[in-house]
Amino acid sequence: MTALPETMTAIGMAAPGGPEVLRPETRPVPKPGPGQILVAIAAAGVNRPDVLQRQGGYNPPPGASDIPGLEFAGTVVAQGEGAGRFAIGSTVCALVAGGGYAEYAVVDERNALPAPKGLTLTQAGAIPETFFTVWTNVFQRGRLQAGESFLVHGGSSGIGTTAIQLAKAFGATVIATAGSDDKCTACRELGADHAINYRTEDFVAAAKAATGGRGTDLILDMVGGDYIDRNYELAADQGRIVQIAFLNGPKATVNFSRLMLKRLSHTGSTLRPRTVVEKAAIAAELQAKVWPLLEAGRCKPLIHATFPLAQAAEAHRLMESSTHIGKIVLTV
């Protein structure tokens, strides 16, 4: 086996701030611990939590790398004690609590998955964070079933484009909200039955019309703020709302009587702080139920743009512009 370097290029930040604080720096190549693998990274996805971390609002959990990046794909180059699930030279994609914006990263082998056959490593690097998030929130917590109606806010985002494809693949009627006509068109092309431009339409009225006045069975919300009360208004009787972010803030004035009158369930979750074991359970379900869809071409990550690792700041500027449709990826 080729000897590994002692150092690598990674993206660090001396202090919280704007995109300009993201700069290449030299770091030691991490050593895999028990049950871990070391991966030479080919591509790493850029996600909203990375932006929050850069701004100082979402610190890594204890023990996690301070390097940004929650997902990557690449080639296994070393194994820690007891690791044997992936042979040296295997291509994998993985979910991590930090460390993805680098040339090398370690991950517990239970939180890695084989790179799907038929996809490039750039595509594989855009899978874990959004697919883990959508699976655990839409299908595990939200209990979406075939024949139900499902609405996802931010349908053109990485989460949204993933949620549209998976919900449609599993037999739901899919409604998406997005901020422009072009984004709505992209949502429909991915499989959404209805796409609502929230800048020009009342999404509550439009989604109720799309469901014959019944409302939606499940709503995936990353907006929060005043959307919370509007989600309660839109939800069908015994509907479920799953909260995964608060782009409009975590506080709102809400008519909670709808929660009782409609017998609603409002839950939420974060993914990053969960244990290796919890994430491993999600990974196992993804490999069994979603990997066959990826390898059959029935769904795939939608990649808007790629940037070299050293241009992480530019990738963040694009993310913050909200002009992208789908994922932004750093390539190594």
pLDDT digits (tens, 9 = 90+) for 21-32: 999 999 999 999
Residues 283, 260 within the same domain: no
- Band of pLDDT at residue 94, cut at 50, 70 and 90: very high
Residues 143, 43 within the same domain: no
Residues 49, 32 within the same domain: yes
Residues 212, 312 within the same domain: no
* CATH number, position 170: 3.90.180.10
- The answer to whether 301 and 46 have CB atoms below 8 angstroms apart is no
Residues 175, 237 within the same domain: yes
Going by their DSSP bridges, the two strands 7-12 and 104-108 should be labelled as unpaired
Quote the CA–CA distance of 300 and 125 in Å, as a whole number: 11
- Per-residue model confidence as pLDDT tens digits over 273-295: 999 999 999 999 999 999 999 99
- 27 lies in some domain: yes
Provide mean pLDDT across the span 301-305. Answer: 97
Residues 262, 141 within the same domain: yes
Handedness of CA 202, 204, 205, 208 (dihedral sign): positive
**Quick one: pLDDT at residue 1?**
52
- The answer to whether 153 and 227 have CB atoms below 8 angstroms apart is yes
- Per-residue model confidence as pLDDT tens digits over 268-277: 999 999 999 9
**Quick one: pLDDT at residue 249?**
94
**Quick one: pLDDT at residue 3?**
87
Quickly list DSSP for 104-139: EEEEEGGGEEEPPTTS-HHHHTTSHHHHHHHIIIII
Provide mean pLDDT across the span 211-221. Answer: 98
Residues 107, 228 within the same domain: no
- 2 lies in some domain: no
**Quick one: pLDDT at residue 259?**
97
Residues 248, 263 within the same domain: yes
**How many domains does one find in the chain?**
2
Q: What is the mean pLDDT of the chain?
A: 97
How many residues are there in the chain? Answer: 332
**Quick one: pLDDT at residue 2?**
65
**Quick one: pLDDT at residue 107?**
98
| Last-in-domain residue among 268, 287, 310 | 268
Write down the residue that tokens 């609603």 correspond to: 264
Provide mean pLDDT across the span 140-152. Answer: 98
**Quick one: pLDDT at residue 154?**
97
Q: How far apart are the first and last CA of the chain?
A: 21
| Last-in-domain residue among 214, 248, 268 | 268
Collapse the DSSP code of 181 into the 3-class scheme (helix H, G, I; strand E, B; otherwise coil) and give the result.
helix
Residues 137, 37 within the same domain: no
**Helices within 68-199 (DSSP H only):** 121-124, 128-134, 158-169, 181-190
Quote the CA–CA distance of 44 and 98 in Å, as a whole number: 11
Residues 55, 169 within the same domain: no
- 302 lies in some domain: yes
Range(s) of the domain holding residue 90: 7-127+272-331
Determine which helix (DSSP H) or strand (DSSP E) holds 25, and give its type and residue range.
strand 23-28
Q: Which residues pair with 235 in a beta bridge?
A: 216
C-alpha atoms less than 13 angstroms from C-alpha of 253 in its C-beta half-sphere: 0
Residues 93, 69 within the same domain: yes
Residues 90, 200 within the same domain: no
| Last-in-domain residue among 268, 294, 316 | 268
Handedness of CA 251, 198, 51, 93 (dihedral sign): positive
Collapse the DSSP code of 314 into the 3-class scheme (helix H, G, I; strand E, B; otherwise coil) and give the result.
helix
Quote the CA–CA distance of 35 and 211 in Å, as a whole number: 48
